[in-house]
Amino acid sequence: MSACPSLTVDEIFVDRGSVGTRLDLFLARYLNEPAKTPSGLSRAGIQRLIADGQITLNGAPAKASIRVKFQDRIEIRSSPARDSELQSEALPLDILYEDENCIVLNKPPGMVVHPAAGRRSGTLVNALLHHCPALEGIGGVRRPGIVHRLDKDTSGVMIVAKNMLAFQQLVSQFKNRTVRKEYLALVWGIMRPESGVIDRPIGRHRSDRKRMSSLHSIAKTREALTEWRVEERFPVTPAGYAAPDGLTLLRIRPRTGRTHQIRVHFADLGYPLVGDPVYGRKAKTQIKRPPADSAFERFQRQALHAERLCLELGETTPPIEFIAPLAPDFAALLNYLRAHRDSVKTGVDNSRSLK
């Protein structure tokens, strides 16, 4: 029988300035101070270690919520670190902004954010590890630096943390809903009035576990709130399509961040996203095969783009807004629709911005 790997024990004593702080919060701050080498442990990871008895307070098990006192002794028991299975890859990145704390990217459509079963390469994380090797272990082994995600075929702006302090600050902003996100989406149908709010909880679909739903979900649902405003309307259906009354370009501000929230909310409202292979099924039955040279024929994904992200990059700095240009396929699709609309002189451009 092979010997078990030996445990290492780190001993920490509470300083006067930290008296009264929760145990998990104290450790999250202590282990990831800028002057130290980041531990790679998030606050959630620390809470799991406390629950597993790997972290003790004055020699005894403790709760994550207990308030520490001056000179309390904290012991952290851990196994030797394992090498990550993630591989770096020299893939192109469209970097909008970068400093010592974060990277802001314009994610292209078709790129998965992080490796998972059946997908070990070609992801955004693989590319990030090549660009920034020190990212490994920040906030988790499988998703280093990732504080939020976009679906594979959704393009647009994403922010990635480069150290644990930045990771915790960014995660906190997303959790507290202080981050402002704006998307552009092209949906089937003419939406009226000019703006609205969808307030429908979302959960797993009761008969298809791979889908989410706000109409046919299982009993366990979570709050989901989506604000929208019309940007443009295209009252004439593109040649080769049999849609009832055209399409609408929307500016969308999700107030919550549920899985597939935008796609689910608008599909369940009767306005599915153009090109959505999962939630646009009903619309597909109404569509004839378009001409081979149509922009719709070349558009092979859901028409959803994360255009704007506004958040704080430090505790003392004002919020900064980052804007990601449209991906070429989405821009070409809108240009096609505008040309088609203008050629038959239907109405005026109803462009607006969300204030």
Q: Catalytic site residues?
A: 151
Amino acid, single-letter form, for residue 152: K
What SS3 class is residue 181?
Answer: strand
- 295/205 Cα distance (integer angstroms): 32
What is residue 267's three-state secondary structure? helix
Strands 102-107 and 247-254: unpaired
The residue behind tokens 């990217």 is 105
| Contacts of range 33-37, beta carbons closer than 8 Å, 24 or more positions apart | 33/165, 34/163, 34/165
Q: Is 161 helix (H, G, I), strand (E, B) or coil?
A: strand
Q: How far apart are CA 180 and CA 192, in angstroms?
A: 24
Beta-strand relationship, 304-311 and 155-161:
parallel
Bridge partners (DSSP) of residue 13 are 73
If DSSP states are collapsed to H, E and C, what string results for 189-257?
A: CCCCCCEEEEECCEEEECCCCCCEECCCECCCCECCEEEEEEEEEECCCCCCCCCCCCEEEEEEEECCC
